[in-house]
Amino acid sequence: MNGPFQTARELTATALPVELEALAPPPLLLPGEHLEHYQALRQVIFADLAPRSAIEWLLAIDVAELSWEIQRYRVLRHKLLETYRQKAIEASLRHIDMVGIAADFEDQAAYYTLQNALSWRIDPIAATEIDARLASYGFDAHAINTEVYVQARDILVLFEGLLSAAQTKRMLLLREIRNQRFAGGPMRRPR
Q: What is the pLDDT of residues 91-145, one digit of tens each?
A: 999 999 888 888 899 899 999 999 999 999 999 999 999 999 999 999 999 999 9
* Percentage of residues in the chain having pLDDT higher than 90: 72
CA 182 to chain centroid, in Å, comes to 33
- Average the pLDDT over each of 6-10, 71-75, 107-111, 171-175 and give the range with the smallest value: 6-10
**Contact residues for 30 (Cβ-Cβ < 8 A; gap 6+):** 72
DSSP, residue by residue, the chain: ---SPPPHHHHTTS---GGGGGGSPPP-PPTT--HHHHHHHHHHHHHHH---SHHHHHHHHHHHHHHHHHHHHHHHHHHHHHHHHHHHHHHHHHHHHSTT--GGGHHHHHHHHHHHHHHHHH-HHHHHHHHHHHHHTT--HHHHHHHHHHHHHHHHHHHHHHHHHHHHHHHHHHHHHHHHHHHTSS-----
Average pLDDT over residues 1-13: 49
What's the pLDDT score for residue 112? 93
Confidence of residue 18 (pLDDT cuts 50, 70, 90): confident
Average pLDDT over residues 19-36: 90
**Dist CA 87 CA 30 (whole Å):** 24
Q: Is the pLDDT of residue 6 over 70?
A: no
Residue ranges of the domains in the chain? 33-182
Task: State pTM to two decimals.
Answer: 0.75
What's the pLDDT score for residue 12? 43
